[in-house]
Amino acid sequence: KTYNIALVGASGAVGAEIISVLEEYQFPIGHFYPLASKRSAGQKIKAFQSEYSVLETTHASFTGIDIAFFSAGKSVSEVFAPSAAKVALVIDNTSHFRLQEDIPLVVPEVNVQDLNHCPKNIIANPNCSTIQMVQVLNPLHEAFGITRVDVSTYQAASGAGKRGLIELQNQMAGHETCEVFPHPLALNVIPQIDVFLPSGYTKEEMKMVQESHKIMHADFPISATCVRVPVLRSHSESLSIHFKQEVQATQAREILKNSPNLVVIDDPSRGLYPMPITASCSDQTFIGRIRNDLFDSKILHLWCVADQLRVGAATNAVKIALEWIKTHH
Ligand code: NAP
């Protein structure tokens, strides 16, 4: 059996990656409809050994579609995903539906069982920084019981889409354009992603808290500081994890090595730890610098890196589609 696929946001950073992942995973595709706004309608896209013209997204775009991937921003999902969900399964990369009731928010390595309750035909893909974090936290929580997490992120420019990537490249080449990020990003770091809320946290930081709770079915305290760094691709995170019991770094290393989708690179004496260049264009989440706290044996610190366009978006979405096919057909 093959599936007819619509991809809303096909001309964007995540859209391009969804096409690559569908190709690499040899997804059983019937017809393929790349959709975007009027601006890029008519643009040619190469996919699945053919050339396609990008079409403008309308409410009628989804007739005959089996699965619709959305990665065109939350306002586009708000308008078009309900029309798509009348006839197709929607897998949405935006934040629009993530915290809504009856919308599963899924990282297949963590809560694949949540796909079983999908009454609205819409499945949400979590925020990119959240996906890699819960992949790391979940096996440790199952083994030792987490009581608190403090995380700081080092997020790549392409997390802000194609325009973010281009803005950093332009700034690196000496141009002074500053439209996507609130300050120059080249040779700088910006401790703000998305807008500030009255609490003093940004929306991006609150996504990491609320989405992690929903995915892990847990409510331990999480505090996040999200920072944009002048890296083109792949997000890094520094995590401090508190446990119910004493945990040795060696125990955590063993658990993580044997957990789905994780690769441990942790040999500081040889200068081995993951970096954005380690993770870019890969489907795995990399972990290093696993160490005990100096003062409290119930606390561990570690570092993790993943390609946010793949692990944090496209690959997660395609894995959800593959799981759904497995259980529903
Ligand atoms: P992007 O590179 O800016 O691409 C945006 C896409 O949306 C383009 O294809 C654009 O088409 C399309 N679009 C914009 N307005 C539209 C409209 N009115 N109707 C139909 N299509 C429209 O952004 P991105 O990074 O791929 O992100 C897309 C979504 O995924 C966002 O919600 C983002 O938060 C989420 N996400 C991004 C990442 C990441 O790392 N970048 C990770 C996880 C989730 P045109 O070419 O016609 O403008």
Q: Is 129 in the pocket of ligand 1 (CB under 6 A)?
A: no
User: How many Å apart are CA 106 and CA 53, to the nearest integer?
Assistant: 31
Residues of the chain with pLDDT under 70: 329
Residue having the nearest C-alpha atom to atom 18 of ligand 1: 37
User: Which pLDDT tens digit goes with each residue over 226-242?
Assistant: 999 999 999 999 999 99
118-127: b (≥16 Cβ within 10 Å) or e: bebbbbbbbb
pLDDT at 329: 65
DSSP-derived 3-state class of residue 227: strand
**What amino acid positions are annotated as catalytic residues?**
128, 235
- b vs e for 226-258, b when ≥16 Cβ sit within 10 Å of the residue's Cβ? bbbbbbebbbbbbbebbbeeebebeebbebbee
Whole-number Å distance, alpha carbon 103 to ligand 1 midpoint, is: 21
Looking at the CA of residue 162, tell me the nearest atom of ligand 1.
2
* Count of C-beta atoms within a 10 Å radius of residue 221: 12
Tell me, in angstroms, the distance from the centre of ligand 1 to residue 228's CA. 18
Assess contact for 181 and 267: CB atoms under 8 A: no
pLDDT at 254: 98
Global pTM? 0.98
User: What pLDDT shows up at residue 326?
Assistant: 92
pLDDT of residue 328: 75
Q: Which of 312, 322, 296, 325 is nearest to 150 (CA)?
A: 296
| pLDDT the model gives residue 327 | 85
> From the CB of 111, is ligand 1 less than 6 Å away?
no
Neighbour-count burial of 290, counting CB atoms closer than 10 A to its CB (0-12 exposed, 13-18 middle, 19+ buried): buried
Q: Is the CB of 159 under 6 A from ligand 1?
A: yes
Phi first, then psi, for residue 278 (nearest 5°) are -75, -40
Instruction: Say how many Å lie between the CA of residue 12 and the centre of ligand 1.
Output: 5
